[in-house]
Structure 1
Amino acid sequence: MKVEKRRAFLYEPIQLNPPQILALLFLVLVLAGALLLKLPIASEKGVSWIDAFFTAVSAATVTGLVTVDPGSTFTLFGEIVILFLIQVGGLGIMSFAVLVVLMLGKRIGIKQRLIMQEALNQPSIGGVIRLVRNLLIFSLSIEAIAVILLSFRWVPDLGWGKGIYYSIFHTIAAYNNAGFGLWPDNLVRYVGDPTVNLVITLLIITGGIGFTVLVDLWYSKKWKDLSLHSRIMIWSTLFVNVVSILVFYAFEYNNPHTLGHLSLGEKIWAAYFQGISPRTAGFNTIDIAGMRQDSLLFMIMLMFIGAGSASTGGGIKLTTFIVIIFAVLTFLRGKNEVTVLKRTIRTGIILRALAIATISMLLVFTGVMLLAMTEKAPFLTILFEVVSAFGTVGLTMGFTFKLTLIGKIIIICVMFLGKIGPLTLAFSIARPDKSNIRYPDGDLFTG
């Protein structure tokens, strides 16, 4: 009997569920990217294995945290590898896989559709392939338009070749909410430039609002035709962005290290850019390390909340945050059902939101605790770095370059887990309980 079990263990194929397959594919992408970045032709003077792996993870997770300056460290080949990792990581590995299969005229099976459902965080497999096709068409079209607009600004300054290349690189990085820049100061030199500020932020918003919302907007003729998810995302994105811009303008107005030395017009543009960027984009036009502590705490909250579901951004997602807020308000009002825009939210969605937020906070807490043991830095600096890595944001207070080897490994793990998502991680490990047994009610004292 033992021999038969041993044979079955050795020869039976390993069955992986969609979350496990998704995590495995992402790991393969990261490993391939690291190997390519380690090649002699990928860097000017060579990079260490840990820096190559860190950069590959940061690019594939569309984060933007770097331990070396991409613009001066990597060659054109290395930068193209980073760009490819950003595009595939942002739009999704399975999206590109489906594109190849469709181009070959093959059929997409149920298992592949289930993986796509998990990758795009969709409630069902119905219409997933059409969503992927529209996702790719919309994304590439938006990126093409942005490249043209940025070229008008950068070609006169940098020349045709470099100007167009920089436009392509920063367009893909901005749309996929990755904070990679080819200038050492990111976009600080363009703090008051209207074209750069508008194009980059519109790309951030478009990529971060979620593919399902973009598709819904394209096909819906009237506001009432939009789904509940789309309406919540549009309203909440507008509200959060406006509040963030006003907060940063008020908090940093007299700070000599950020807005204080700028003209009034540049202050407005800087506050506008920093109000939109923290929700997983990672670009900055002012020195983040010079910001006030209250501004940094507010930015940490924005990074933790993140962008929209099924978007290129990270974080717990804006809709998750909205569901939790409305659940709290429902309890305070003494009601039994959570309602948003005259629609009742199912209990399963509320439990999912609570699970995402709880697992995310545990992940951030663990990362902060480990870095506090291995790194010599103020607590706020460590917290900012970990939340930025978890939310796949890429903003830093200059701490990334100072990380020790163990610190780099910790941030790599946080970026990876933040990208695949807390629920994907949980579903990859947990075993579903299919029992239909219901136990008697019990009371617990809470609060």
Structure 2
Amino acid sequence: MKRLANIKLFDTLSKKMVAGFVILIVIGCILLALPWATAPGQSTSFINILFTATSATCITGLTVVNTAQHWSTFGQMVILGLSEVGALGYMTFAVLLFNIMRRRIGLSTQLMVKAALNLENLSDTKSVMRYVIGLSLMFQFGGLGLLALDFVPRFGWGRGLYVSMYHSVMSFCNAGFDVFGDSIMAFRDDPYVIIVTMVLIVAGGLGFLVWRDLLLYHERKRLTLNSKLTLLTTLSLFVIGFILLLVTERDLKLLPEGTPWFIRTINTLFLSVTPRTAGLITMPTSQLQAGSLFVIMILMFIGGTPGSTAGGIKTTTFGVLMFQSIAQIRGRRDVEFNHRRFSQDNISRALLLVFLASIVMTVATLILSQTEKIPDGFGLEYVLFEVLSAFGTVGLSLGLTPDLTVIGKIIIMLLMFIGRVGIFTSLYALSKRQTKVNTIRYPVENVLIG
């Protein structure tokens, strides 16, 4: 009976979470449709407004129009607001409003927060929410101050503070929108801007639960298994991605001849960080080597940490499956890490997530390969790259998004939505699961595998 109650509760929460994101997208569409949301002389079709609102809410950054040129300051601020709420979760702002009004947070609201942030215990909701809000303000205002040291001398006080604020928020939220017109390619020779951006991206993608563990380590003298697995997987992916990209790009030969090795190294490191759902670039993605694109697609598929501003299947899912594979190869029954054993439910859920994600992306790639035009010099990777970028809420593109057909835009929007809300949440909200307990268990019989 308890299991049935949990299933019904999760289905209800899933529907509410999906509805919340849909409402947020609708509000974004209304605001972006206002005449003063676009720059003078520009007009926006409904499908492009919907696409932009979805991309911002799902903190993806894929754009069908140039954000810097097409939208007015008001429109750009709407996109920034949608990205902020989409990254931290609308429930975070609901709780913040309750605290400001000094109203008690109800049980249903706490359950929504618990589901949104992937918390284990309901008692953690209030303390974690304080960390979510506090860390977000700290990193974003800190990023604003650090970037202002570079941007204010370049652009003046007004413009400098504006781009510093915009870039700080979008970097921390792991959204790929920019107000420069070409992402941050103009700053690829400025290691200071690149390093600050990388710190903000990693801070947003690491997850609020992990940050809480790190900040409380001096008191507890320990980290949770989730944090240890997250840190190990994240560091491993950064290092492996960096090394592979150094090899595949041959120390970034596409940069102008004479570029110092330090600048090449910093740009390569940034190239290994941004696929973790950030979407900002310092060089044209379409000019990268085929091997580099393959590495980036793998990183986009994995994504960041649960309970963070990142998308993808998540680092913990990848980590669990890696240790499960190692255990199977060694002939071990239990999947162990750091003197702990992963539950079979954990492993089954990770396998199901990867399987469902693969099915969704396969279907999307098949449809887009029929509806979209692939330019000369590219193959199926032109479509697959965009699919992975949308599902991982990354925002990187080989150039397909601005030329998408209406069907293509709908497919990419669905991928961005599923990637942000979560594939389990999306499917459970749309389906009617069978909650009846099956008391019959059939005999076991094996089939040939491999």
Q: Could you tell me the TM-score, scaled by structure 2's length?
A: 0.93
How far apart are residue 245 of structure 1 and its match?
1.4
Determine what percentage of the aligned residue pairs are the same residue: 35
Structure 2 matches for 1:415-430, cutoff 5 A?
415-428=416-429, 429-430=431-432
Partner of 2:171, secondary structure, is helix
The 8 Å contact of residues 253 and 259 in structure 1, kept in 2 or not, is answered as: no
Structure 2 matches for 1:6-85, cutoff 5 A?
17-44=12-39, 45-85=42-82
| Structure 2 residue 442 is matched with structure 1 residue 442 | no
Residues 215-235 of structure 1 show CA distances to partners (whole Å, capped at 9, x for unaligned) of 111111179511111111112
Residues 328-379 of structure 1 show CA distances to partners (whole Å, capped at 9, x for unaligned) of 1111111111101111001111111111111111111111011011011131
Greater relative contact order (Cα < 8 A, sep 6+)? 2
157, 162, 177: which one pairs with 1:160? 157
1:135 corresponds to: 132
Distance verdict in 2 for CA 1:220–1:438, change over 3 Å? farther
303, 309, 312: which one pairs with 2:309? 312
Structure 2 matches for 1:298-447, cutoff 5 A?
298-377=295-374, 378-428=379-429, 429-435=431-437, 437=439, 439=441, 440-447=443-450
Amino acid in the other structure paired with 2:447: L
Distance 2:187 2:412 in 1: 29
Distance 2:157 2:12 in 1: 48
Partner of 2:109, secondary structure, is helix
| Structure 2 residue 254 is matched with structure 1 residue 292 | no
Distance 2:434 2:86 in 1: 28
2:225 corresponds to: 228
Residues 415-438 of structure 1 show CA distances to partners (whole Å, capped at 9, x for unaligned) of 111111111123222425351625
Distance verdict in 2 for CA 1:236–1:255, change over 3 Å? closer
How far apart are residue 282 of structure 1 and its match?
0.4
The 8 Å contact of residues 113 and 128 in structure 1, kept in 2 or not, is answered as: yes
Distance 1:145 1:36 in 2: 29
The 8 Å contact of residues 65 and 396 in structure 1, kept in 2 or not, is answered as: yes
The 8 Å contact of residues 117 and 124 in structure 1, kept in 2 or not, is answered as: yes
The 8 Å contact of residues 175 and 203 in structure 1, kept in 2 or not, is answered as: yes
In terms of mean alpha carbon deviation, does 294-303 or 238-247 score higher?
Answer: 238-247
Distance verdict in 2 for CA 1:399–1:260, change over 3 Å? farther
Partner of 2:218, secondary structure, is coil
The 8 Å contact of residues 252 and 268 in structure 2, kept in 1 or not, is answered as: no
Distance verdict in 2 for CA 1:140–1:50, change over 3 Å? same
Distance 2:432 2:243 in 1: 43
The 8 Å contact of residues 251 and 265 in structure 2, kept in 1 or not, is answered as: no
Distance verdict in 2 for CA 1:343–1:299, change over 3 Å? same
The 8 Å contact of residues 38 and 46 in structure 1, kept in 2 or not, is answered as: no
1:174 corresponds to: 171
Number of positions where the alignment pairs a residue of Structure 1 with one of Structure 2: 433
168, 171, 186: which one pairs with 1:189? 186
The 8 Å contact of residues 279 and 302 in structure 1, kept in 2 or not, is answered as: yes
The 8 Å contact of residues 172 and 203 in structure 2, kept in 1 or not, is answered as: yes
The 8 Å contact of residues 252 and 259 in structure 1, kept in 2 or not, is answered as: no
In terms of mean alpha carbon deviation, does 380-389 or 361-370 score higher?
Answer: 361-370
- Structure 1 gaps, min length 5: 1-14
279, 282, 291: which one pairs with 2:279? 282
Amino acid in the other structure paired with 1:19: S
How far apart are residue 106 of structure 1 and its match?
1.6
Distance verdict in 2 for CA 1:121–1:202, change over 3 Å? same
Amino acid in the other structure paired with 2:160: G
Residues 174-206 of structure 1 show CA distances to partners (whole Å, capped at 9, x for unaligned) of 001001111222111111212111111001101
How far apart are residue 395 of structure 1 and its match?
0.3
Distance 1:254 1:243 in 2: 15
- Structure 2 gaps, min length 5: 1-9
| Structure 2 residue 89 is matched with structure 1 residue 92 | yes
Residues 86-116 of structure 1 show CA distances to partners (whole Å, capped at 9, x for unaligned) of 1000000111111111221222222222211
In terms of mean alpha carbon deviation, does 86-95 or 220-229 score higher?
Answer: 220-229
Distance verdict in 2 for CA 1:110–1:223, change over 3 Å? closer
In terms of mean alpha carbon deviation, does 257-266 or 26-35 score higher?
Answer: 257-266
1:11 corresponds to: none
In terms of mean alpha carbon deviation, does 222-231 or 75-84 score higher?
Answer: 222-231
Distance 2:185 2:246 in 1: 16
Residues 141-177 of structure 1 show CA distances to partners (whole Å, capped at 9, x for unaligned) of 1111110000000000000011001010011100010
The 8 Å contact of residues 114 and 125 in structure 2, kept in 1 or not, is answered as: yes
How far apart are residue 446 of structure 1 and its match?
2.0
Distance 1:223 1:375 in 2: 54
Distance 1:430 1:422 in 2: 15
Distance verdict in 2 for CA 1:335–1:417, change over 3 Å? same
1:147 corresponds to: 144
Amino acid in the other structure paired with 1:167: S
Partner of 2:282, secondary structure, is coil
